[in-house]
Structure 1
């Protein structure tokens, strides 16, 4: 008898797949690759265009089947939030997000399981960062998860602790880490890619938006401090946030626009070139939940400077240079000191590069997939 695990992969064909779409693809590919004997993997996707179905099948080779719901994504999200549909029926279901058919079931009777994944608690900690509709949906789905999920997966112990403060899930929270996105490696055309993106010979790299909690503004303030190395800054993110614009904010901190190189929506090979070529990668977010950006930089041997957010400290495990955010307003000064140290001390940069590369080996999608299979088996 074959045991079938069905994974909800709808985010792959969402209008903006984003980081969650990459997570869904990479984890599902690994789940398929790690399929135990007498088991199979099927995918669940909302009613979509034929080309979307083709894309799922192309990105997830080895699927035993593709279940297509009768409702489109928006309608399905609303129906699952209200518990108005039993689609896609009983079985073993793994959801890479809260987007799942959470309903009353008894796994001791028919073996049905539903496991969901939580990547942040922004709906509770920073609701202003989301639309009111998204906040309501996430809170509604969390209530359903508290009632009906057999387990809830999170990427870090730090997030597990924060989630336990939001919802009483007892012992159902499980930590299964992330890994670098698929394709994040240097190819033979790395120099051509660097030239096309206009990368200088030396630069700092930082990801994020101008939203205060992301820490990008703190990095800009740090680079404007006297004595901080006059390096270009490659910003991996959007040009604006609300009515604030990157170049304008940079100028307000004394940084000439020519020092700012903004890149967004890079494919994995381009991102690999940016990270690998950076003098240092800065991960300044005040309250990170996953630390995946650090893992990706580590995998390319880039020296990493990061905030002391709990998830960052957990993922880094001392392989990066931690900078306390604090509540005293001195974060930019501490960042400036850290950036100066890493970019002027070649021995420190080399130690961070080696330590990060070593640490990156602790994270792989294969390991994550095997943990997913084991979790379902334990249930």
Structure 2
């Protein structure tokens, strides 16, 4: 009888899959591809539309089956938060987030184990960036993980240290890195995508919102400094955050609104076109637990400028230009200097492109999946 690893794939068909949905999809595919002899992967999903079930089965060829909960996503999240349901039963369970059936189980029984994944600790460090309901749910689920999870996966050692400072998980934290999202390849119809998104001929790209933690406002202020090249900026994200609009913030920073374009690529191919056409990716965030955005830029040979937040520094490993956030000001000027160097010095950009391409080879979903299989074997 084969050994079954049951993976929570619910986020893949959520209304807004987001980064966790992309992570779950890429990892699950790799887990199926790397399943050891005598092992198989089963998906677990909340009660959903028949079209969602079909989509999951199409997305994961080779899936041994799909466990369908009787509870819808919202109800299942609440039930798991309070340990009120036995769904989906026992066995080896791997959750690509904290959305998992964390309950008491007999760890002396072979194959009875549950592993969860933590992507950030914003509920503790920046609760204002989340809804109050999300903060409460994440804190409650991490408490359950402390009591019932056999292991907790994080993507960087930096995040592992942050998580360990918040909750005592002993030696149960495991670092297993990420990789570029599936389909991040420039397609044959790239020119059509460039025209549809109205991308400038030359530009920088930054991912995020106007939330202060993300550093996009710092970058806009840097671009408004005297002497900084007047290169356009493509923002991967919404035009607004709260009552702020990217055009207004740009103008206040001394950047002509016409130089700033906010786009939200609808698939990985479109994102690849945006990234590949950029002079550089700038990642100015003050606090991140994950560096996947840097890995994706590296994989396409895009020069990277990033803050010194520990997760970025760990992922980049000197393959990008690291800009200290520091305290007491000065960050904007340091960003301005880094941007100027990359835009005005082709040799700097070329060196970063080569270094990033080389660094990207360190991140692969097959390797991550094999490490997940090994983790469950060790447990």
Give the CA deviation at 1:195.
2.2
**1:58-73 superposed matches below 5 A:** 58-73=58-73
Give the CA deviation at 1:11.
0.3
Give the CA deviation at 1:192.
2.4
CA separation in 1, counterparts of 2:187 and 2:265?
A: 19
1:46 match: secondary structure: strand
CA separation in 2, counterparts of 1:110 and 1:342?
A: 54
Is 2:265–2:271's contact at 8 Å kept on the other side of the alignment?
A: no
CA separation in 2, counterparts of 1:34 and 1:136?
A: 36
CA separation in 2, counterparts of 1:188 and 1:83?
A: 49
1:293 match: secondary structure: helix
C-alpha RMSD of matched pairs (Å): 0.8
Which residue of the partner structure matches residue 243 of structure 2? 243
**1:144-223 superposed matches below 5 A:** 144-223=144-223
CA separation in 2, counterparts of 1:203 and 1:48?
A: 41
Which residue of the partner structure matches residue 321 of structure 1? 321
Which residue of the partner structure matches residue 274 of structure 1? 274
CA separation in 1, counterparts of 2:110 and 2:46?
A: 24
CA separation in 2, counterparts of 1:280 and 1:34?
A: 34
CA separation in 1, counterparts of 2:339 and 2:85?
A: 53
Which residue of the partner structure matches residue 300 of structure 1? 300
2:377 counterpart of 1:377: yes
CA separation in 1, counterparts of 2:81 and 2:182?
A: 31
Which residue of the partner structure matches residue 21 of structure 2? 21
Q: Where does the alignment leave 5 or more consecutive residues of structure 2 unmatched?
A: none
CA separation in 2, counterparts of 1:143 and 1:319?
A: 37
CA separation in 2, counterparts of 1:111 and 1:191?
A: 51
Is 2:276–2:301's contact at 8 Å kept on the other side of the alignment?
A: yes
Which residue of the partner structure matches residue 129 of structure 1? 129
Change over 3 Å in CA distance of 1:371–1:110 after alignment to 2: closer
CA separation in 2, counterparts of 1:179 and 1:13?
A: 20
Give the CA deviation at 1:111.
2.3
2:103 counterpart of 1:103: yes
Which residue of the partner structure matches residue 335 of structure 1? 335
CA separation in 2, counterparts of 1:316 and 1:155?
A: 13
Which residue of the partner structure matches residue 143 of structure 1? 143
Give the CA deviation at 1:368.
0.6
Give the CA deviation at 1:196.
2.1
What is the TM-score normalised by the length of structure 1?
0.99
Deviations 1:267-322 (A, max 9, x none): 11111111111111101100111110000000000000000000000000000000
Is 2:278–2:302's contact at 8 Å kept on the other side of the alignment?
A: yes
**1:222-233 superposed matches below 5 A:** 222-233=222-233
Deviations 1:227-264 (A, max 9, x none): 00001111101111111110000000111111011101
Is 2:157–2:311's contact at 8 Å kept on the other side of the alignment?
A: yes
**1:249-288 superposed matches below 5 A:** 249-288=249-288
Which residue of the partner structure matches residue 356 of structure 1? 356
CA separation in 2, counterparts of 1:115 and 1:360?
A: 27
Which residue of the partner structure matches residue 117 of structure 1? 117
Count, aligned residues: 379
CA separation in 2, counterparts of 1:342 and 1:354?
A: 14
CA separation in 1, counterparts of 2:363 and 2:204?
A: 24
CA separation in 1, counterparts of 2:129 and 2:196?
A: 33
Deviations 1:312-334 (A, max 9, x none): 00000000000000112111110
2:62 counterpart of 1:50: no
What is the TM-score normalised by the length of structure 2?
0.99
Give the CA deviation at 1:265.
4.1
